[in-house]
Amino acid sequence: MSNTRFQALEAVLNREIPDIKLPSSKISDYFGVNVFDKKKMKEFLSSDAYSVIIDSIDNGVPIPRDMAEQVASSMKAWAIGKGATHYTHWFQPLTGTTAEKHDAFFEPTADGGAIERFSGDALSQQEPDASSFPSGGIRNTFEARGYTAWDPSSPAFIIGRTLCIPTVFVSYTGEALDYKVPLLKALNALDKAAVDVCHYFDKSIEKVNASLGIEQEYFLVDTALFNARPDLSLTGRTLFGHMSAKNQQLEDHYFGSIPSRVYAFMQDMETEALQLGIPLKTRHNEVAPSQFECAPIYEEINLAIDHNQLLMDIMDRVAQRHHFKVLLHEKPYAGINGSGKHNNWSLITNTGKNLLSPGKTPKNNLMFLAFFVNTIKAVHDHADLLRASIASVNNDHRLGANEAPPAIISIFLGSQLTEVLDEIDTSRLSKKIKEENSLWQGIPKIPQILKDNTDRNRTSPFAFTGNKFELRAVGSSANSASPMTILNLIMADQLKKFKYDVDKLIKKGEKKDVALMTIIKRYIKESRAIRFEGNGYSEEWEKEAEARGLANVKTTPKALDALITDKAELLFEETGVFTKREAHARHEILLDSFYKKLQIEARVIGELVMNIIIPAALSYQSKLVENVKGLKDIGLDKNSYEAQLDIINKISGHVNFLKQNVDEMIEERKKANKIDDLRERAIAYDEKVKTYFAPIRYHADKLETLVDDRLWPLPKFRELLFIK
Ligand code: ADP
Ligand code: MG
């Protein structure tokens, strides 16, 4: 058999670019055709059932059984009409992916025939055999029951021939086993707290929801090359590979023209996504070679997260048809940029007002300032939780490394809003209010168009971008529900405290507006430390952040501690988002997945070194030895084989290092596996096992630069990144 790498390269060179036919030249003709959305419900449901369902979607009112029956039967009619044969409850277990178990509509009848059936019960609730989803000890295997229950606020959709019903996933005892339940609880808490604060300004507001727009970064690589790299196919990232001579230094890929094969994939993927109602709007090349990004128009947050989960799945499936593999890993290639998932977040009222958009009038500005400053205060007070919510073994490669937002949580506001807050913070303001006896004179003017909106700080993990905050530290493969649950719940808690503080002043006889301004001013002072406008990647910032008392937790096992502090427990209980048991279960699941992923990587490193890299190096070395012998045989002296001897020696040096370090790493793994305490085991994997990865890689990559190209079996970085 010839070298696997060359076989893969040959396959890539023979790829054809598929001709993509769009369903129509107008996206509006096919947007959402595979979704049982409000429009289709109206068409398929009686008007009674329709209003019940709308009430449930908008206000969370439970759907009565008889109505569920009707909804199920019309959903079935619609789905069968579109060729669906099966249905599934689609949910988001804590593995981070989505899960589905398909059941056929068809049921045999007594007379030997069959009918298509889908009952209200089958729609509303299912009991998947879910004993092997992570539960962090919540479900013992003898009581493995977990239930999925329909979430009507996210519409059903069809993929292929399956009707998918978005659901929550809970245990027999009612505890959350998924990402959706806590998110919905956090949104509920946020709604209440935010509406209360809105009422200081506008009594007509009845509901506040969070909006979210998720920018998704990813890499593409040809399937043949992917399959020739066991590290990529087993861990999602390359564990070896010498940097390509050309990488991203010329910055010629970013926003460059999209390669034809990639363009075909994008069109195909977008068409599927649009038909599923995912409002994809933007596509472009990203900074690193073979890295791309897509972004939708923002949506109500629960839907936006479902859509992003669905999108990751669609990308993967459509890519197969194009002989591509989508790499959603946060750091598939060392030495070039990794991938993130920017979460653009804001708060929108039922009256259509964006609460994080500066207003035209002073009163509106005060309302904006209230929500703006409370966000800053919430993040300041619970930065540790936000950090924990984005922690994962993959994201550890980005956070704190010199490219992505640092592991230090800070907030960028831009110079204009910084000035506004500073002005409020100084004594000048109170003087102004006193002198002019009018609060409105004291509120600084906030320009509608903020200049920093275009020239914003890319190094900040949490940046204000004109009318929304952008959390940039989320990993590209993460479920955004994790950070968004935390962000919305800390905001809910903060707004509740704000109302309490303001009301206290009002009760003491203070005028409402002055009370609001007084508390805003206090919060600005109290949350000052979290605001940072400078370069987040710099060493100076690390030092300054430390002096300011900000945390800089670089690794996951330690970052996760924040989930189980007394402070977090109280917060979770007060907002009703996690019980103590649920928080501890999540903590455990995250630690478990952390060390297991490192365990897999360590094993793959060992296998590749021993079975692929060392053998390749030795076979080249043998050739050199033969060559030297031959030269000696024909009577040449040492001068003629000096270079060969040098390479032979170097190869031996690297091979010795590799063998010895792989052996030591295995020993450390054995020791770590024996540690009972999960957190300690995760830390041991991080600090004792993972520390071998870089030196082993260094020597393996050196071998790559020495060994005859024709004998090297693993596709090289230049091929993974540049072959189109
Ligand atoms: P960028 O320069 O980061 O690409 P954009 O303005 O194009 O910035 O927006 C990026 C993302 O932010 C998009 O997904 C968009 O839908 C989202 N977005 C815009 N406005 C809001 C908002 N009010 N709430 C939530 N997300 C928003
Ligand atoms: Mg962005």
Which atom of ligand 1 is least distant from the CA of 214? 14
CA–centroid distance, 123 to ligand 1, in Å, is 34
The predicted structure's pLDDT at residue 416: 85
**pLDDT tens digits along 583-642:** 999 999 999 999 999 999 999 999 999 999 999 999 999 999 999 999 999 999 999 999
**pLDDT tens digits along 172-205:** 778 898 999 999 999 999 999 999 999 999 999 9
CA–centroid distance, 215 to ligand 2, in Å, is 7
Contact yes or no for 124/137 (Cβ under 8 A): no
Neighbours of 125 (CB within 10 A): 14
The predicted structure's pLDDT at residue 358: 86
Q: Measure the CA–CA gap between 103 and 87, rounded to whole angstroms.
A: 5
**pLDDT tens digits along 659-706:** 999 999 999 999 999 999 999 999 999 999 999 999 999 999 999 999
CA–centroid distance, 414 to ligand 2, in Å, is 15
In Å, how far are 43, 213, 298 from 304, measured between CA atoms?
25, 7, 7
Options 3.40.640.10, 3.90.320.10, 1.20.120.1200, 3.10.20.70; CATH for 31-178 is 3.10.20.70
Architecture of domain 187-578: 2-Layer Sandwich (3.30)
The per-residue b/e assignment along 371-384, b for 16 or more CB within 10 angstroms, e otherwise, is: bbbbbbbbbbbbbb
In this prediction, residues 388-410 reach a mean pLDDT of 87
Which atom of ligand 1 is least distant from the CA of 295? 14
469 alpha carbon, closest ligand? 1
Backbone angles phi, psi at 149, to 5 degrees: -130, 140
**pLDDT tens digits along 95-150:** 878 888 888 888 888 888 888 888 888 888 777 766 677 777 775 544 557 888 88
213 alpha carbon, closest ligand? 1
432 pLDDT band, cuts 50/70/90, is: low
What residues contact 273, with CB distance under 8 A and at least 6 apart?
Answer: 280, 310, 311, 314
Q: Measure the CA–CA gap between 143 and 141, rounded to whole angstroms.
A: 5
The predicted structure's pLDDT at residue 441: 54
CA–centroid distance, 346 to ligand 1, in Å, is 10
Q: Looking at 470-613, list the stretches that DSSP marks H as alpha helix, in order from N- to C-terminal side.
A: 481-507, 512-526, 539-548, 556-559, 566-575, 580-608
Which atom of ligand 1 is least distant from the CA of 345? 25
**Strand locations in 85-161, DSSP E?**
86-90, 102-104, 106-108, 114-116, 125-126, 146-150, 157-159
The predicted structure's pLDDT at residue 644: 97
Q: Measure the CA–CA gap between 599 and 269, rounded to whole angstroms.
A: 34
61 pLDDT band, cuts 50/70/90, is: confident
CA–centroid distance, 397 to ligand 1, in Å, is 26
Residue nearest ligand 1's atom 2 by CA: 454
Query: How confident is the prediction for the chain on average, in pLDDT?
Result: 91
457 phi-psi bin (left φ>0, alpha ψ -120 to 50, beta other): beta
Q: Measure the CA–CA gap between 540 and 550, rounded to whole angstroms.
A: 14
CA–centroid distance, 300 to ligand 1, in Å, is 13
The predicted structure's pLDDT at residue 348: 98
Cβ < 6 A, ligand 1 pocket: 211-213, 215, 295-298, 344-346, 354, 467-468
Residue nearest ligand 1's atom 14 by CA: 213
> Is pLDDT at 274 greater than 60 in this prediction?
yes
The gap between the terminal CA atoms of the chain, to the nearest Å, is 25
406 phi-psi bin (left φ>0, alpha ψ -120 to 50, beta other): beta
Beta strand pairing call for 162-171 and 86-90: parallel
The predicted structure's pLDDT at residue 141: 45
The predicted structure's pLDDT at residue 525: 96
Tokens read off for 428: 């000048």
The predicted structure's pLDDT at residue 705: 97
571 pLDDT band, cuts 50/70/90, is: very high
454 alpha carbon, closest ligand? 1
**pLDDT tens digits along 240-255:** 999 988 777 666 666 6
Q: Measure the CA–CA gap between 65 and 56, rounded to whole angstroms.
A: 13
Contact yes or no for 409/383 (Cβ under 8 A): yes
> Is pLDDT at 440 greater than 60 in this prediction?
no
Task: Return the top range by mean pLDDT from 400-404, 430-434, 447-451.
Answer: 400-404
**pLDDT tens digits along 478-496:** 999 999 999 999 999 999 9
CA–centroid distance, 224 to ligand 2, in Å, is 32
344 alpha carbon, closest ligand? 1
CA–centroid distance, 556 to ligand 2, in Å, is 24
- Show me where the domains of the chain are located: 31-178, 187-578, 592-720
CA–centroid distance, 540 to ligand 2, in Å, is 25
433 pLDDT band, cuts 50/70/90, is: low
Of 682, 380, 381, residue with least CA distance to 555: 682
454 pLDDT band, cuts 50/70/90, is: very low
The predicted structure's pLDDT at residue 142: 46
Burial of 65 (0-12, 13-18, 19+ CB in 10 A): exposed
Burial of 7 (0-12, 13-18, 19+ CB in 10 A): middle
The predicted structure's pLDDT at residue 101: 81
Which atom of ligand 1 is least distant from the CA of 296? 14
The predicted structure's pLDDT at residue 287: 78
Best residue for ligand 1 mutational test, from 301, 307, 344 (most atoms within 8 Å of Cβ): 344
Residue nearest ligand 1's atom 13 by CA: 213
**pLDDT tens digits along 275-322:** 999 999 998 888 788 999 999 999 999 999 999 999 999 999 999 999
**Interior angle at CA 551, CA 547 and CA 557, nearest 5:** 150
Tokens read off for 336: 């070039």
Its pTM surpasses 0.85: yes
472 alpha carbon, closest ligand? 2
* Helices and strands, number each (H, E), in the chain: 26, 17
In this prediction, residues 516-544 reach a mean pLDDT of 93
Q: Measure the CA–CA gap between 598 and 474, rounded to whole angstroms.
A: 20
The per-residue b/e assignment along 315-354, b for 16 or more CB within 10 angstroms, e otherwise, is: bbebbeebbbbbbbbbbbbbebbbbbbbbbbbbbbeeebb
**Strand locations in 297-370, DSSP E?**
299-300, 324-327, 341-349
Q: Measure the CA–CA gap between 222 and 214, rounded to whole angstroms.
A: 25
> Is pLDDT at 272 greater than 70 in this prediction?
yes
22 pLDDT band, cuts 50/70/90, is: very high
Comparing 239-243, 439-443, 515-519, the range with the smallest average pLDDT is 439-443
CATH class entry, domain 592-720: mainly alpha
> Is pLDDT at 429 greater than 80 in this prediction?
no
Q: Is 148 helix (H, G, I), strand (E, B) or coil?
A: strand
Best residue for ligand 1 mutational test, from 282, 468, 469, 484 (most atoms within 8 Å of Cβ): 468
